[in-house]
Chains A and B, each alone.
Chain A
Amino acid sequence: MSTVAGHYSYWMTIVLIVAGMYILIARGNLMKKLLGLAVLQSSVYLLYIAPAKLLGGTAPIVAQGYTVYSNPLPHVLILTAIVVGVATLALGLAMVVRIREAYGSIEEDEILARDRADDDRAPDGAR
């Protein structure tokens, strides 16, 4: 029982990783894939931050009478990771917008079908 209760953050991390990967792979809609990616990345945040809070630890500000402080470093790391995640998401969304303009759809199978039709018609893609 303590395995589950004591490590619930790790279990949630695993759930998020798996859920994110599943959405990313199983869904054909490009937007949904991006959401899967976001879920995957959030698992990382949880992985780093949850252990940072030490049992009985206080905020990481030096104060009289406290010996155990929570670890601020993972928070710093995750701020960076969140920024990276935001940048990735922004780039991904921009790409989806452009793909929509170019293909008229954001469903993966429709796009691939259109590419195949393209290849059959004009393999050279001359300018």
Chain B
Amino acid sequence: MMLAACVLIPAAVAALIAACHRRPNLREAVSLAGAALLFFTVLSFSQAVLEGARPRLLLGEMLPGLALVLELEPLGLLFALIASGLWFVSAVYSIGYMRGNHEANQTRFYVCFAAAIASAIGVALAGNLLTLYLFYEALTLVTWPLVTHHGDAEARRGGRTYLALLLATSLLFFLPAMAATWWIAGTLEFEPGGILQGKVSGTAAALLLALYAFGIGKAALMPIHRWLPAAMVAPTPVSALLHAVAVVKAGVFSIVKVVVYVFGADFGREAFAWLPWVAGFTILAASVVALRADNLKRRLAYSTVSQLSYVVLAAAILTPLSLAAAALHIVAHALGKITLFFAAGAVYTAAHKTEVSQLDGVGRRMPWTFAAFGIGALSMIGLPPAAGFVSKWVLVSGALEAGHWLALGVVVASTLLNAGYFLPIVYRAFFREASGEEHGEAPLPMVLALVATAVLTVLMFFFADLPLAFARKMLG
């Protein structure tokens, strides 16, 4: 079935890439072709899903009563679309980056990349908690070689933190949460309206939610967030696609899935009361750290931590509008953040600069790069004409609708903080005098990629109806 193809294509690409080890150009072509094929395959489902269809494929029974199932629903389709579409763009970018920096072990890189996409698509298409958990863990394991790509002591340390935190949270919290859900509800299927309705309430429900929220470590709620800055030791294409898009989005996607399809949008608010506080704290605290971070990737990492909690906050408010905002922000943040990371990588490749304080005047030498960076920054802050404005607007509407003053306050405060740590970079880049060696723009593939994602960010602002339609459809 076509649904299986969505997971099989990237897996097959991984195998093919390994086979093309000795022919780099063929290898890159395979990546690109596979990514394009995957995107169009996923796209082909959009019409049907928008009309209410939910294609389903039973993969087989793993345990008595528990099967592995693929099911496509609107939220999953959104995630799969951005993962596959941005895979193509990242592949273009990676070609420029890996060759421009003369990175070693490129085949291993591309193979693991494709495998990571396969796992991410698996998460997007998961039809029940067991399938989700399977692909979620696979994603952790398959991205570890990417994080430790450089193989030096620093990479090892980063990899250790990465693996330790993600595996610890999923083993200690996610697995028991899943087992408890099975025991309480008798099923692990994702149902619109949830499977826990009426079966658990009060403190037990709040605890179960906590196990999920902290067990899904990829959503980077504090204090589980440390793996994300640790993963910045990876080459920038990894940080861009995986830690701005695939891995982190798998995290928040899973949380939204759990909220909508396991607890249900009509679940009692009391169990969710504590979550906006944790999410709000994460948003603000991460922004404060970002303010003080000089390393560009570190600043972007903490910005990601902060932005991810927007999604969690939106989900925690639990109104139809805020849940739609959560889905929208998954898309908007992905587009904006990948642009920012692409730009960071471009700066590193062309100018060999990694710290914000070194960025004086670099914008004048790399106009395309920093124009894109500017758009990404606008998206993070939430200003038009960038995608981030759309999701923030819907989030504020949702918070107003629910009368959630805490959420409103957090959003306002963090908008200011975002401006505080992004705008100075843009200012420095364009309005200060450059120093150091002369350099030009980054290699062409990289510039093409980051311009493409910047354009997409702007496009989402103008064509917001499409993702909004998916987000609305998610709730039936």
User: Are A and B in direct contact (Cβ within 8 Å)?
Assistant: no
Instruction: List residues of chain A with CB under 8 Å of any chain B CB.
Output: none
